[in-house]
Structure formats: structure tokens, C-alpha cells
Amino acid sequence: MKIAVLSGKGGTGKTLVSVNLAYTLGKANYIDCDVEEPNGFLFFDKDFNNQVKPEDIITAKIPRVDELKCDGCKKCVDFCKYNALAYTKRLMIFQEVCHSCGGCMLVCPQKAIDEIEKEVGKVRYSRFEDVNVFTGMMKIGEASGIPIIKRLLSLADDKDTIIDCPPGSACIVMESIQDADYCVLVAEPTKFGAHNLELVYKLTKLFDKKVGVVLNKCLEGENPSEDFCINNNIEIIGRIAFDKELGYLNSKGIIIAKEADKYKEVFEDILEKIRRDNDETVIGS
Ligand code: SF4
Ligand code: SF4
């Protein structure tokens, strides 16, 4: 089973929930698709940076022009929706914003464009107890982490998988949730939290995903994210209290479900509700 964990913005507790769900599952894959700012590995393996291997480098195809064949028709420039091409006496290619769609090569009447490989980031692997930890890291200045996310998602074995998605609702989030069986939406108890929850909820509905919400940083009193769930008939599968001790442990990179049973029970309960929603009899080990 693949469970994607999303939030409409950064800082809501998405990685807290992802890491602790993976740990609570026992035998599991944890995949950090937040390739612009990956940090889940900090909970699992402090020596992670020593584990780079050459085969972990991810490349993407970018266009290269043969200026002897190019006649300046600009068909490729008109085609590129990402403004990665411009023609001023010669064709200029802005690699950083190219999304590797390959379209310019196809539309060129002179067959003046071919493709070369360019490094866009890395994928790293480590292990913590029975959790396989996969982390994608996009190179600074790159426009799209999609090739890295595709590779990450291909690495998981058949154990239950937690996908720690990028924040927001852009195309890299869509790529991350495509094959997920269930989406957990993490939301804060603020007006902004509710607004971002709505955005990400609409995204999951586009993909027709099963969805449950975890309300994080819960306090007594008003909770606009909770109101949004009630008004839209969305199941709340977990509540994590605003808790100084939890905040302290989390800020130290400690897996709270490992540290105390009271926290582990919160994540066991969330997994139980996901299992029920998916009509599965067994989840995890
Ligand atoms: S490959 Fe696609 S995104 Fe890149 S320059 Fe060509 S048309 Fe633009
Ligand atoms: S479509 Fe081909 S021939 Fe036309 S400007 Fe682009 S590279 Fe040159």
C-alpha cells in the first residue's frame, strides 16, 4: 500500500507525520519526494551525507542545437511553453528552465535539435531499523524535480510505502501522488492552513484519491481546518496536539513514535483508520 502525505504549504508537520507513519509501520519504505528541501533523512540517519554513490546521479534530457542545420525559423521557440528557448541571431537554450519535454526536437523542420543528458539531482538510500529511506535532492537552480521523483518512486520494494510529498499543489506533487492508494492531508488550525488544505484537497479529488486529514498543532477553540473538513464531509483521521515536548523532540530530529508510546498510539490510530478506509486486513508488519 502506498500512502502519500501532503500539505498545502511547508511547515505544517508533513514530514513529522510521514516519518512517524513509516516508523510505526515497522517494515516500510519512506520516500522523501520533497526534492527541493529534503529533510526526512535527518530523523533516520545523521551520517547520510557519507553515502553518495555515482549511480545515484539523476539526469534529464535537454536540447542541443546544430547551428549548421538551424535556419532560424523559430518554430521551436514558439512551441516551448516554458520560455526555455529564444532566437537572437542564433538559438539560445536556457537549460535551467527546460522541462525536458522533447517537443522542440520534434517540431524542428531541419532536424537541427538533438538531446544531451544533464545532471539534475541525486537519489540517496539509507536504512533505519526496518525502514528503507529514499531521498531525492534536486540540484540548486534546476526547474523541475520530476525526473528525480520518478526515479525515487521506482525504487520502493513491495513493503508499505510512505511518500513524503513536496508542499503545495504543483506538478511535482501530482507526480508524487499518481500511484498512491491513499492521501493523508496535514493541516494547521489557522485560516491560512484551511485555505491551503482546500487547494491540496481539490488536487487529490482531481486524481480521485481516498483522502483523510490529520489536524496538527491542535489547540482548544477555533480550528478553521476542522471546520473545512466538517463542511465538506472529509474524514479527520488524526489530531496531533500542540505540545511543547513533541515540538522539542521533533526539532532535535527524534522520531517521536520511537521515543514515547503515547505518540506511537497516535500514528497507530491513523494507520488503523487508513486501513479501514481501504478495506485492508493487514497493513505493515
Ligand atoms: S525540451 Fe521542451 S521545455 Fe525544453 S526547450 Fe525543448 S520544448 Fe522547451
Ligand atoms: S525549429 Fe529548428 S531550424 Fe527552426 S529555429 Fe528551432 S532549431 Fe532552428
Q: What is the pLDDT of residue 93?
A: 96
Grid cell of 129 as nine digits: 531499523
CA of 143 to the centre of ligand 2 (A): 23
- pLDDT classification of 9: cutoffs 50, 70, 90: confident
Give CA–CA dist 265/140, Å, rounded.
Answer: 39
pLDDT in tens, 124-147: 888 889 999 999 999 888 877 888
CA of 69 to the centre of ligand 1 (A): 18
* Whether 12 and 115 share a structural domain: no
* Whether 126 and 194 share a structural domain: yes
Grid cell of 184 as nine digits: 493523508
Which ligand is nearest to the Cα of residue 89, counting in written order? Answer: 2
* Whether 49 and 77 share a structural domain: no
Of 86, 119, 152, the domain-final residue:
119
Q: What is the pLDDT of residue 125?
A: 86
What percentage of the chain has pLDDT greater than the value 70? 94
* Whether 101 and 173 share a structural domain: no
Give CA–CA dist 30/34, Å, rounded.
Answer: 12
Instruction: Using the atom order of ligand 1, give the atom closest to the CA of residue 115.
Output: 1
* Whether 30 and 67 share a structural domain: no
Give CA–CA dist 236/274, Å, rounded.
Answer: 11
- pLDDT classification of 202: cutoffs 50, 70, 90: very high
Instruction: Using the atom order of ligand 2, give the atom closest to the CA of residue 110.
Output: 3
Domain hosting 81: range is 59-119
Give CA–CA dist 45/135, Å, rounded.
Answer: 11
* Whether 152 and 41 share a structural domain: yes
Give CA–CA dist 175/145, Å, rounded.
Answer: 10
**Looking at residues 50-74, what average pLDDT do you find?**
84
Domain-embedded: residue 282: no
pLDDT in tens, 63-107: 999 999 999 999 999 999 999 999 999 999 998 889 888 999 999
CA-nearest residue, atom 2 of ligand 2: 108
Check pLDDT > 90 for residue 232. Answer: yes
* Whether 19 and 105 share a structural domain: no
Q: What is the pLDDT of residue 282?
A: 45
Of 74, 102, 119, the domain-final residue:
119
CA distances from 213 to 4, 29, 136 (A): 12, 21, 25
pLDDT in tens, 267-281: 999 999 999 988 754
Check pLDDT > 70 for residue 285. Answer: no
What percentage of the chain has pLDDT greater than the value 90? 71
* Whether 95 and 229 share a structural domain: no
Q: What is the pLDDT of residue 128?
A: 87
Domain-embedded: residue 284: no
CATH of the domain at 261: 3.40.50.300
CA of 95 to the centre of ligand 2 (A): 16
CA-nearest residue, atom 8 of ligand 2: 70
* Whether 43 and 64 share a structural domain: no
* Whether 34 and 67 share a structural domain: no
For residues 248 and 55, the model is more confident at 248
Q: What is the pLDDT of residue 283?
A: 46
* Positive or negative torsion for Cα 79, 82, 85, 86: positive
Q: What is the pLDDT of residue 284?
A: 45
pLDDT in tens, 138-181: 988 887 788 899 999 998 888 999 999 999 888 889 989 999 99
Q: Name the pTM for this structure.
A: 0.85
Domain-embedded: residue 72: yes
